[in-house]
Chain A
Amino acid sequence: MGREPPGTGLEAAAASRLRRPVFLNLTQIQMPVGALTSIGHRISGVVLATGVPAAAYLFALSLRDEGGFAQVAALFERLAFKAAAIIAIWALAHHVLGGIRHLLTDFDIGSPLRVARRSAWFVNLAGVAVALLAAGVMW
């Protein structure tokens, strides 16, 4: 097989792809609301995952003995713990609602753009609303 002369075939395609303008400044790109929901789903998932070891520790401590249970209960009076709990509740609410939205899409419910936009707004706002509600209950 002889080598292809430059400027033809795959090489040319690759070269023209490289010349295409790329603009990926996240602070200036106008993201559609569905993209925010999607990225929010990832961010909330990672937030929840990082919280799992701490939650497992608290679960173990609360079940160890009376003292451990009292320690966990006392944590709920601490400001830093409450703040962390509210972030976790936002992440859980956003992740669960976004997840239900995904599951509905699997069954072809809510896929048309107008409906998808509306449900994306709902997920983003409801996640924050649940977090605010939790904050109101905790204080």
Chain B
Amino acid sequence: MRVRFTGLKAWWVQRLSAVYMLLFVLFLLYSFALQPLREFSRWHAWVARPGISVAFLAFFAALLGHMWVGLRDVLLDYAKPAGLRRGLLAAVALGLLGLCIWLLVILLGLQG
């Protein structure tokens, strides 16, 4: 499987994810302004609502895709010896994959 997000595809990933994350953050601010979730039970119940969980899931997907394209660009520009660059890119990819699994487990755990 090769999902590398390069060239025009990376350009789209970066922009679509940015727009979704911006809308999601504005939605979060708006929701918290309407009803501050100061107790565990209300916070937990709110995030566990299917629509909210799916919105969080899409946010995390957008965040990880956006992070991959951005960190990859930075490493391609500054990580100089090719070996170091390859190692760092692999480390970032692994880290993001781990984050992805972890966040999925958190969200799925809420549905139980």
Q: Which residues of B are interface residues toward A (Cβ below 8 A)?
A: 15, 18-19, 22, 25, 38-40, 43-44, 47, 63, 67, 70-71, 74, 95, 99, 102-103, 106, 109-110
Mostly, the A contact residues are helix
> Is B44's CB under 8 angstroms from A52's CB?
no
Q: Which chain A positions have C-beta within 8 A of B39? A: 69
> Is A103's CB under 8 angstroms from B71's CB?
no
Bound Cα distance A42, B25 (Å): 20
Q: Considering residues A52, A65, A73, which has the most beta carbons from chain B within 10 angstroms of its beta carbon?
A: A52
B18 is contacted by which of A56, A70, A103 (Cβ under 8 Å)? Answer: A103
Q: Which residues of A are interface residues toward B (Cβ below 8 A)?
A: 42, 45-46, 49, 52-53, 56, 59-60, 62-63, 65-66, 68-70, 73, 96, 99-100, 103, 106
CB distance from B39 to the nearest CB of A (A): 8
Q: Which chain B positions have C-beta within 8 A of A100? A: 22
> Is A56's CB under 8 angstroms from B44's CB?
no
> Is B43's CB under 8 angstroms from A63's CB?
yes
Q: List 29 A-B contacts (CB under 8 A).
A: A42-B74, A45-B70, A46-B71, A49-B70, A49-B71, A52-B63, A53-B95, A53-B99, A56-B99, A56-B102, A56-B106, A59-B103, A60-B106, A63-B43, A63-B106, A63-B110, A65-B40, A68-B40, A69-B39, A69-B43, A69-B44, A70-B40, A96-B22, A96-B25, A99-B18, A100-B22, A103-B15, A103-B18, A106-B15
